[in-house]
Chains A and B, each alone.
Chain A
Amino acid sequence: EDKVVQSPLSLVVHEGDTVTLNCSYEVTNFRSLLWYKQEKKAPTFLFMLTSSGIEKKSGRLSSILDKKELFSILNITATQTGDSAIYLCAVEPGNTGKLIFGQGTTLQVKP
């Protein structure tokens, strides 16, 4: 059974801290791993990582994929209160078109 597990489930930090969010997975015929950020409404796309793109960076956010150990991490440096959100990891098994999400990590950044 395909499975995605995120840790920690929740995290409270102060502005300026660096955080690392974890995502481990077990899927059949891995194709891609994606990170999303969810504030008040629908999730918004952050990164996609694949066998040919195992590292991504955008501003203060960066992510790596370890296909051997079956996990990914999302790093956020110099956190701001606007980074407070639920961060979701999802994996696509094979070329199925379906995405399986993890439970999410709720990040709260205090001023």
Chain B
Amino acid sequence: NAGVTQTPKFRVLKTGQSMTLLCAQDMNHEYMYWYRQDPGMGLRLIHYSVGEGTTAKGEVPDGYNVSRLKKQNFLLGLESAAPSQTSVYFCASNSPQGYTGELFFGEGSRLTVL
């Protein structure tokens, strides 16, 4: 009963390093999202995808890239990490079929950029 799984859960990077966050869902959902959460700022949408092979920019896409090569996976990449990207990152998914509005979230990935 995995739901949405994010890896890694914690990571410390140095400025300029690159990394990829992986999100995997086993619910056959079409829609997937990457959000970041900073204190006092709620959840801000980075990128999202409404289907395999498609991606779109959210509110704060700069400095991030994404790919959705397989329906069940949504990757978030940081090509050259900056301290401003220190945050908790949440992946989420849902389906337009029988839409209830409920997003299914992963447990979050805490990223620190030094």
Contact = CB atoms under 8 A, between A and B. Distances in A.
B42 A6 contact: yes
Contacts of B102: 34, 45, 48
B108 A45 contact: no
B58 A43 contact: no
Interface in A61-106: 88, 90, 92, 95-104
A98 B42 contact: no
A41 B105 CA distance: 9
Contacts of A104: 40-43
A98 B56 contact: yes
Interface in B92-114: 96, 100-103, 105-108
B74 interface: no
Interface stretch (B18-26, B44-52, B64-72, B79-87): B44-52
Given A9-B40, A43-B43, A88-B43, A97 B48 contact: yes
A17 B100 CA distance: 30
Contacts of B44: 101
Interface in A1-56: 6, 9, 32, 34, 36, 41-43, 45, 48
Interface of B: 30-31, 33, 35, 40-45, 48, 50, 56, 58-59, 90, 96, 100-103, 105-108
Interface of A: 6, 9, 32, 34, 36, 41-43, 45, 48, 88, 90, 92, 95-104
